[in-house]
Amino acid sequence: MHNAKCTCWNCPAIDLAGKVDFRACGQSGKQFDKTLDSTQETHIMAECKRRPELGLYDPMAITFQECPQWQETPYGYILKDMRVMILGIDGYLGWTLALWLGSLGCKVSGVDNYNRRNWVKERGAHTIVPISRMNQRLRAAKEILDIDIDFRQIDIYTQRERLKEFIDEVKPESIIHYAENPSPAFSMIDVEHAIEVQKNNVLGTLALLFTIRDTVPESALLKLGTMGEYGTPLTGRPLFEGIFPAEAILQWGGREWSLGGELTPRDPVSFYHVSKVQDTFNVYEACKYWWLRSFDIMQGVIFGVHTDQVAADPRLRTRLDIDEWFGTIINRFVAQAVIGIPLTLYGLGKQIRGFIALRDAMECMTRLICAPPEPGQYAVVNQISGIHSARQLAYTVAKIGREYFNLPVQIQRVENPRVEADEHPFEALYEKLPKRYGFKPKVTIDEEITRMFELFLTPEVKKRIEERKQVIMPKTWWSGVKKEVERLELLDLKGEIEEDERLRMFKVHR
């Protein structure tokens, strides 16, 4: 188990006692252990809220493996009945995670203000997989999976007091923060939308950080960032996992310095991504000032519809969008293939990104929940399971659609409405989740695409795609131009993407 050797120092169920020196934040427990003498009054002690009979004790003395409160699961030891609060629980990932964690025995609570439902409606789009209203979702979760979810309708930015009361009441041991607008294109529509996204995301997160400080500072925050924070540097510089490793060196003017431990450069690619970068600094500072502990999860693009829990009943399904604002690329390609629209590549279609399947993303989140950072630690992981170009994905969808579903799938290149390099080097590291947290991807792209075809070809979903086909083609230009993109070329599908081209473009670190 990846977290067997973690100690109470990592555990959100302890209070720290003794002379806690906030200037020492970010130091690891091991450093404390080495530098502090237990006879001195500066030594930090633990007090367990779940096992008060232990009194005051050394936080490094008990491991998760030894503690009866931490129980074995396939994803690591997890606190018995762990109290997990999901912010944004009505969303694509939030709802899926709620059912996943509920099935693992966690006590799940959550908030949402239905922003996502409203934003999608405002654009004239809809989720192609029909989803139930929240009260039906909650009833179905109880009825089908025997999961009780404590839900409140709260806006985390404008209703800070209500959120504070709820957090104070639940005392979550882990807080998953999904409650943001997730759309680059939505943030580029016009000034109102740019402001809406940045206000909602940046100020919501800032408010949350103060709330955690004042209510549950020992709770672990899992905050969602995005791989898009790093951009795609044309130098080919590797995209490290948020923080430079110890060996990274800056050379300049004949001198050199270690960059180890510093935040890596960010080059966001939309006003949405800028909001995520601002969040990164706010979370980093909060860990520094107040000894909060957080994972900043640089998540790749998610694809897919499946976990065992959401597939257990139509009322438990999670949303899935295909419009230009909220539809992610693979989900959108499969929907296009199903209704006969040639799959749209923007520009050359050689953009490369990191991806991960919905089910695998849930497993990663669970593994991280099981290994809370140390007090004051701002930890970053790149949460992806593979790297692909848009073209490669379009070929894969076309191949599966043609071979297994007998669909005449075509691919087109259209003008790129975004300001981005169509072709660029890409070297992203994603070593921590596999090496430190024991994650191995379980879902292949082909398998999940096949599953999507099966679901999208059901009469109800296919009809819902047809009903909103006019919102798939992009109209939002980063430049502010107002027009629909034009087709540049219909691709000849006989030429498969050459293997050597792929190898030239990416280096994969595992």
Footprint on this chain of ligand NAD (rule: CB under 6 A): 88, 90-94, 111-116, 155-157, 178-180, 182, 200, 204, 224, 226, 299, 301-302, 328
Q: Smaller CB distance to ligand NAD: residue 282 or 412?
A: 282
Q: Smaller CB distance to ligand NAD: residue 106 or 131?
A: 131
CB of 126 to ligand NAD, least distance (A): 13
Q: Smaller CB distance to ligand NAD: residue 104 or 224?
A: 224
Strands 249-252 and 220-226: unpaired
Task: For residues 316 and 436, give the distance between their C-alpha atoms in angstroms, rounded to a whole number.
Answer: 32
Q: Smaller CB distance to ligand NAD: residue 11 or 316?
A: 316
| 277 closest CA partner among 268, 286, 285 | 268
CB of 58 to ligand NAD, least distance (A): 37
Task: For residues 498 and 493, give the distance between their C-alpha atoms in angstroms, rounded to a whole number.
Answer: 12
Q: Residue 409, exposed/middle/buried by CB under 10 A (0-12, 13-18, 19+)?
A: buried
In order of 38, 201, 212, the CA distances from 264 in angstroms are: 36, 21, 26
CB-based contact 431:509 (threshold 8 Å): yes
Task: For residues 91 and 176, give the distance between their C-alpha atoms in angstroms, rounded to a whole number.
Answer: 12
CB of 116 to ligand NAD, least distance (A): 3
CB of 382 to ligand NAD, least distance (A): 11
Buried b or exposed e, range 230-263, using 16+ CB within 10 angstroms: bbbbeeeebbbbbbbeeebeeeeeeeeeebeeeb
End-to-end CA separation in angstroms for the chain: 19
Q: Smaller CB distance to ligand NAD: residue 180 or 218?
A: 180
Q: Smaller CB distance to ligand NAD: residue 286 or 491?
A: 286
Active site residue 276: yes
CB of 148 to ligand NAD, least distance (A): 20
CB of 93 to ligand NAD, least distance (A): 4
Q: Would you tell me how many other CB atoms lie within 10 Å of the CB of residue 162? A: 15
Q: Smaller CB distance to ligand NAD: residue 110 or 417?
A: 110
The HSE-up count of residue 247 (CA atoms within 13 Å, CB side) is 1
Cβ-Cβ contacts under 8 Å for 376 (sequence gap 6 or more): 24, 25, 26, 27, 287, 288, 291, 292, 293
- The closest residue (CB) to ligand NAD is 91
Q: Smaller CB distance to ligand NAD: residue 328 or 377?
A: 328
Helices (H), 199-292: 204-215, 271-290
From the list 226, 232, 307, 328, the catalytic residue is: 226
Active site residue 396: no
CB of 221 to ligand NAD, least distance (A): 13
CB of 287 to ligand NAD, least distance (A): 18
Q: Which two tokens stand for residue 364?
A: 């990663």
CB of 305 to ligand NAD, least distance (A): 12
In order of 89, 156, 375, the CA distances from 279 in angstroms are: 19, 14, 19
H or E element that contains 144: helix 134-145
Task: For residues 231 and 286, give the distance between their C-alpha atoms in angstroms, rounded to a whole number.
Answer: 24
> The tokens 């430190």 sit on which residue?
436
CB of 203 to ligand NAD, least distance (A): 9
| Secondary structure class of 410 (helix, strand, coil) | coil
Q: Would you tell me how many other CB atoms lie within 10 Å of the CB of residue 477? A: 19
Q: Smaller CB distance to ligand NAD: residue 88 or 342?
A: 88
Instruction: Tell me the chain's radius of gyration from C-alpha atoms.
Output: 23
The phi and psi torsions of 506 (rounded to 5 degrees) equal -125, 150
Per DSSP, the residues of 98-117 read HHHHHHTT-EEEEEE--HHH
Q: Smaller CB distance to ligand NAD: residue 59 or 182?
A: 182
Q: Residue 399, exposed/middle/buried by CB under 10 A (0-12, 13-18, 19+)?
A: middle
From the list 276, 284, 328, 395, the catalytic residue is: 276
Residues belonging to the active site: 226, 272, 276
